[in-house]
Amino acid sequence: MSSSTTATPPSRLSLFWHKWRFHINVLLLLIPLGFMPKYFSEAALFRGDAGLGEREVGEVQVGPWSLRLAEFRDEAPRLNGPVGHMKHFNAALCQSCISQVKATYLRIGKPRSLRAAGVIFFGSPYRMGALLPVPQKTRPDAELWITLEGWDGSMHQASIPLSQASPATVAWLKSQGNRP
């Protein structure tokens, strides 16, 4: 640039800006491009490519029956608006107990009765899901209780430590300072 004779030469930068300022919005395309891997991994998760969920908790024996429990996402409970923090668990009933089990429930802490058994699972017995509310003041050493109700009117319960069901949730609870 032979601009030595100019009093106030436009800088290279401002020339560049003037030439391209209305094309910079092309960069907004980076947003969907950046989220694309996330989008496809989510689609695969919902399609069940990774099994019941991101982290399999394992088989839990509940009386005569058993179920396979999994964390849908291997992460802390998600804030769900005014409802509070929710943790998504998936479960599958054992093949032989599908015809006998009427309902499956999940609760933090021991339920006092069947009517307070917690959240009920929805969906096929091969893959059912439940959104468990996890209050921020939950103690990290709490127990997760699974209640199975039979068509014959029977009820069976089992519990596993929350730390076994979801280490991410316990880590999150600890980081909440366990406020009373």
Binding residues for other proteins, per CB under 8 A?
3, 5-7, 9-10, 15, 18-19, 21-23, 25-26, 28-29, 31-32, 35-36, 38-39, 42-43, 46-48, 51-52, 78-82, 90, 92, 95, 99-100, 102-104, 115, 120-128, 150-153
Rounded-to-integer distance, Cα 100 and Cα 157, Å? 15
Question: What residue type is 64 in one-letter code?
Answer: P
Closest to 120 in 3D by CA, of 102, 138, 142, 137: 102
Of 6 and 180, which has the nearer Cβ to other proteins? 6
CB of 136 to other proteins, least distance (A): 15
| Residue 137 near residue 179 (C-beta atoms within 8 A) | yes
Q: Which of 69, 174, 76 is nearest to 128 (CA)?
A: 69
Nearest approach in angstroms of CB 178 to other proteins is 22
Minimum separation from the CB atom of position 141 to other proteins (A): 27
Which residue blocks in 21-160 are alpha helix, DSSP H? Answer: 30-47
CB of 67 or CB of 142, closer to other proteins: 67
